[in-house]
Structure 1
Amino acid sequence: MDNALTKVGSFWISKKAKQEISNISHDISSFSNAVEEKAKWVFNKLKVKPLKPLPDFLRDYNLPSGLFPRNITSYEFDESRAKLIVYMPSPCEVCFKDSSILRYATRVKGTVSRGKLSRIEGVKTKVLVWVKVTNVSVESYKSDKIWFSTSGVKLSRPKDAYEMPRDGAKVEEF
């Protein structure tokens, strides 16, 4: 006999059956590792503190709570890099109390610090033409002005015009 059968306990098992058992054991181990990794991922997501509503988050950074439309989809904040990403259901624009207009892409990115949203991508304002907004800042808690920096121009607007979140009107393109 060429050792085609192996005795395991009181059972004789062929080499092929032995290989199948080994394969099944390997598959179970791989599946178990995948489940464990996903469980760790879910646990880490759950232990991250939930985000505040965006208006409250902005207020905490001394930015007007109505800087973004009310109808955002969601937002993310990476505290370690101070990166804010705000998601909209579609490109939209908001006309504020002072008649200024901001237009938002479906995703707006920027870096947040006390009284400032800088390196902005995804926001435009209308001066005579649409220009990209690169920074938004408020000088102090007591300031009644908000400053919008665009390509070479700094616009001062009344801060209270941006205090209440407004609905964004859908536009075809950013």
Structure 2
Amino acid sequence: MSLTPSSLVPIFLLVLVFIFPLIGIAKESSLGEILRSHGLPTGLFPQSVKSFKLDQMGRLEVHLDRPCLAQYETTVFFDTVVKANLSFGQLKVLEGMSREELFLWLPVKDIIVTDPKSSVIVIDIGYAFKRLSFSRFDEPRICRSHHGTFFSLSF
């Protein structure tokens, strides 16, 4: 059987039917797009994200290259794996993220957008709530090595 230009057209169309949906899935599956579609800023996690999983129950698991520190309003520590329950405007029951407050490292428990129109994000560190501008989290930050940092995050 020889392939002629007219016989290639159906094959080409068949390939397009299968390839274009896959391109759309890959594009929508970036962590930034997932966060944005859930009403959260795209820069909540640093640039060193290696991969992530989001299950049907909304359980998000983000894998980083290594534990690291990123500078937002204060310094934030990211463990190698950060887990949270993702729903619209919320990352709840966070594990693997801590924030420096007055020389103490406190675990970040929740990140919530209470009113999307206000452009304010609320960070629950257990003892206090920090209200920060959405714009502080527009872009993923560079995450530097935490080696040499003198603290323990065993909570």
Q: Which band: TM-score by shorter chain?
A: 0.7 to 0.9
1:24-35 to structure 2, matched below 5 A, reads none
Number of paired residues? 124
For the aligned residue pairs, the C-alpha RMSD in angstroms reads 1.7
For residue 121 of structure 1, what is the amino acid of its counterpart?
E
Residues 111-165 of structure 1, C-alpha deviations (whole Å, 9 max, x = no match) = 0011000010000011111100000011132122111101221111111101111
Identity among equivalent positions (%) equals 27
Distance 2:142 2:50 in 1: 12
- Aligned partner of 1:36 in structure 2 is none
Structure 2 portions without partners, runs of 5+: 1-21
For 1:69, which of 46, 54, 77 is the aligned residue? 46
5+ residue gaps, structure 1:
1-45
Greater gyration radius:
1
Residues in 2 aligned to 1:152 and 1:127: alpha-carbon distance in whole angstroms? 11
Q: Deviations over 1:75-94 (max 9, x none)?
A: 00002x11000001111111
**Distance in structure 2 (CA, Å) of the matches to 1:143 and 1:170:** 34
1:121 and 2:98 equivalent?
no
Question: If the length of structure 2 is used for normalisation, what is the TM-score?
Answer: 0.74
> Partners of 1:140 and 1:64 in 2: how far apart?
13
Distance 1:131 1:73 in 2: 24
For 1:109 and 1:87, the matched residues in 2 are separated by: 9
4+ long deviations beyond 3 Å = none
Deviations 1:2-52, CA, capped at 9 Å, x for gaps = xxxxxxxxxxxxxxxxxxxxxxxxxxxxxxxxxxxxxxxxxxxx9xx5561
Q: Normalized against structure 1, the TM-score is what? A: 0.67
